Chains A and B, each alone.
Chain A
Amino acid sequence: MGTIVFAGAMSHVLDPDYYDRACGAIGRRMITETMAEIAQMGERLSAAKPDALIVVADDHLNAFSFNCVPAICVRIGRTVHRMVQDHAEAFDQVLDHMPPAYPLHERLANAVLEQGLDAGFDLALSWEAPVDHAFLAPVNTMLGTRPIPPLVPIFVNAFVAPQPTARRCFAFGQHVARVVAQSPWNVGIIATGGLSHFPELSLPRVGETDVAFDRKLIRCMETGEHGPLQALTAEELHKTGGHEFLNWMVLLGAVTPARASLRYFGELPRINLAAVEWQLA
């Protein structure tokens, strides 16, 4: 009987230099605080001795370009590689100096995929997609020099409209929980991204966030009110810059009705930084 032994969600551009350039000294201070909380979450993840770590995150038009953009994609195979970008700029620079390859938990990934298709989720699969900062910055910040468990990367299309619905992401997370429960493994799960930033994906609006919206999301997670979160619309997420909350919706489905503990929330002009951990039974 498998168990989800750790669940957490967090922002995923985890680079003091990036925030120093974007927001000045306060950006460096707040991301450093965020990363310290995430590292502590990682210590608790390691202490739970997971056999696998599911990472739910989005692609930033690095892995999937415009030949195909899957709504939800399970990365299968034995190894995943870090995205390689020559002369990386901005958030892509976060990947520099990270280990280039990571083992996958092939059997759990296959189970999520195969049982998902049986259950009516028309999941995409990939043997080759690389992962960008959305996956690797949280994993490396959490685990530092400790061993990284075999990963199960799951891509959610957060940015290329039309995206999967919040309700569908939640339902898929419930499927993930069923797969874990029927498996022999102890599993950690993290979701990454956000919170509010880049509203309407508009360049002139880079530097705006929606704090009231994020506080509403956090309140719902803290109280375990997952109904209103499932009702979030694509338009709401687009207007508020809440696109990446779709990743969090998968995690919420996997842990519902567990309540969240807020480890960090920091308002920056560019993004609201967050780190959240769930109280699992």
Chain B
Amino acid sequence: MSRYEINSLLYRLKKDPDFRARFLADANAALAGADLTDTERAAFVAHDMRKINELGGYLHLVMSIPGLAAH
């Protein structure tokens, strides 16, 4: 149900360097207003791109976010 939210967050992490910096500094704070399930939130906080992909995050995004990309 939150597939859009996951992907819009991934897109923002890729394209918005300021948001990316805030996320890297304090993921929980950066995600405070995001409509995520507990599982999704935990995956983002852990930078677990494999889990994020499994939850519906598009492969090309999880492979190309600067500093967070899975290879």
Name A's B-contacting residues (CB within 8 A).
Answer: 21-22, 60-61, 65-66, 85-92, 159-160, 198, 201-204, 206
Contacts and interface: CB of A to CB of B under 8 A. Distances in A.
B14 A85 contact: yes
Interface of B: 4, 7-8, 11, 14-15, 17, 49-50, 53-54, 58-67, 69-71
11 contacts: A21-B71, A86-B66, A87-B17, A89-B63, A159-B58, A160-B58, A201-B53, A201-B58, A202-B53, A203-B59, A203-B63
Given A66-B11, A86-B17, A203-B70, A91 B4 contact: no
Contacts of A91: 60, 63-64
Contact of A203 (B4, B14, B62): B62
A90 B63 CA distance: 7
Nearest to B62: A203
Q: Count chain A CB atoms within 10 A of each CB in B11, B17, B54 and give the residue with the most.
A: B11
Given A66-B7, A89-B65, A60 B60 contact: yes
A91 B14 CA distance: 13
Contacts of B7: 61, 66
Contacts of B70: 203
B59 A198 contact: yes
Nearest to B61: A61
A19 to B, nearest CB: 12
Contacts, number: 64
Contacts of A60: 60, 64
Contacts of B61: 61
A203 B64 contact: no
Contact of B71 (A65, A90, A160): A90
A92 B4 contact: no
Contacts of A90: 63-64, 69, 71
Contacts of B49: 203
B12 to A, nearest CB: 9
A201 B14 contact: no
Nearest to B12: A65
Across the A-B interface, the 5 shortest Cβ-Cβ residue pairs = A87-B66, A201-B59, A203-B53, A89-B69, A60-B60
A65 B11 contact: yes
A198 to B, nearest CB: 6
Given A85-B14, A88-B66, 19 more contacts: A65-B11, A66-B8, A85-B64, A86-B17, A87-B17, A87-B66, A87-B67, A89-B67, A90-B63, A90-B64, A159-B60, A201-B60, A202-B53, A202-B59, A203-B49, A203-B59, A203-B62, A203-B63, A206-B63
